[in-house]
Structure 1
């Protein structure tokens, strides 16, 4: 992987702390220790941060942007089984003691990440029980998301699934404007593009979103939540439990 990388200094971070909610949960002394092992990477759209059954040499704590977690078989196109943002990380296999997994992580919306070598992260987890427990809790949250999206894809209408996807993107990006095309949404939801167009039109008529070329703006989050399926609340609750247990600073 070739990214623009910079050693991390507190002045490079927002208010001297990471935007990534997992790292921001660490006590100052533990954060200071791991910061010395991190590099700030600028990651373009389409970059592969984790690949199918490939050795995971680095872990990425997402600072901005959006990552699509994808599964596939030998004969099928990839299927999105998770969406990751500043509340997450790419590299759960490392946390669980392995170096590969049958999943690919692709940068869907460009952004930044704090990257650390797999060996350095394992050493930090062994040294710091707080970090160890935090990342195990995160793997639980992402597993719940993976499972819930399988259910969502088989049981719910495109409009409900689109509302759920936009709500998660809104949470992860912390921004009302989501730079995403119909084609990207079609791939993420595994539905035909005309179905996405109809679903977007319905959400617009309901006053939940506005659209412009290549982007969607959340116009009313309460309306979008009413139109989403219950899967969003299940996923969000699991992350909320993680945040509550680890006392992550709100924001």
Structure 2
């Protein structure tokens, strides 16, 4: 069954009147793992509203190295540059968790944005939440351990999943965090030893989310609190998890 536009919480928060204007122009597109939606300094023609996918915004260095500066999922949208007056972005947008998104052509975004109505307000509030995430990611990458960064990334990913599986290579995660792959493996092994996750043959299963939050640095809680404050339309979240709904994250090496 194809996802509905309302599976994106920002679109769902719009009034029926605004939805009637926008939804006919929404196009459902598949987002395969590692697909590039926006390339650095390339023209942007659409805004994307993820429904069950996660997109990582990555900054690329001249030597080819990269690090993730934020993640976008069903809480918001991808392409804030278009409604802030720009034509391109300095970051690359890479699909971190495969799924779908609805995209809206640039002219329709600008037309609705210029009405100075609901979409304008929601987009600006979302932009503020995204700025907080980018800022805390910069702090985290500079001052916190790989283990803390991995905890933060796991929590941010779980917050944005509409299903409970995430498949990617270990190298992909290390590139997002800007660390060596061996560091990711060591951090995952330590979390397993503490009973926070199980880790076997590339499969990570979260066993204790409250403990995972405790082991994460303050960066996750800062981002979550600011996001919940600004994006009042998001479903209320709880640290108490149903054992049957524990997110599972699959890591694959290039040998598999």
Bucket of the pairwise TM-score, normalised by the shorter protein = 0.7 to 0.9
1:138 equivalenced with 2:126 (yes/no): yes
Report the counterpart of residue 87 of structure 2 in structure 1: 99
Report the counterpart of residue 12 of structure 2 in structure 1: 24
Report the counterpart of residue 3 of structure 1 in structure 2: none
Change (3 A) 1:231 1:248: closer
Change (3 A) 1:181 1:56: same
Report the counterpart of residue 73 of structure 1 in structure 2: 61
Q: 1:75 and 1:62 mapped to 2: Cα distance?
A: 30
Are the equivalent residues in 1 in contact too, given 2:97–2:167 (CA < 8 A)? yes
Q: TM-score, normalised by structure 1?
A: 0.88
Q: How does 1:9-88 map to 2 (within 5 A)?
A: 12-14=2-4, 18-88=6-76
Flag structure 2 segments of 5+ consecutive residues without an equivalent.
238-256
C-alpha RMSD of the superposition: 1.8
Q: 1:61 and 1:133 mapped to 2: Cα distance?
A: 16
Equivalenced residues, count: 237
Change (3 A) 1:249 1:173: closer
- In structure 2, which of residues 128, 136, 140 is the aligned counterpart of residue 152 of structure 1? 140
Report the counterpart of residue 208 of structure 2 in structure 1: 220
Change (3 A) 1:178 1:218: farther
1:122 equivalenced with 2:110 (yes/no): yes
Q: 1:108 and 1:238 mapped to 2: Cα distance?
A: 23
Change (3 A) 1:107 1:181: same
Q: TM-score, normalised by structure 2?
A: 0.86
Q: Secondary structure at the match of 1:108?
A: strand
1:202 equivalenced with 2:173 (yes/no): no
Deviates more, 1:155-164 or 1:128-137: 128-137
Per-residue CA distance 1:121-162 (angstroms, 9 max, x = gap) = 111222351100100111111111111111100100111110
Quote how far apart the aligned CAs of 1:105 are: 0.4
Q: 1:72 and 1:56 mapped to 2: Cα distance?
A: 18
Change (3 A) 1:173 1:47: same
Quote how far apart the aligned CAs of 1:181 are: 3.2
Are the equivalent residues in 1 in contact too, given 2:55–2:94 (CA < 8 A)? yes
Report the counterpart of residue 174 of structure 2 in structure 1: 186
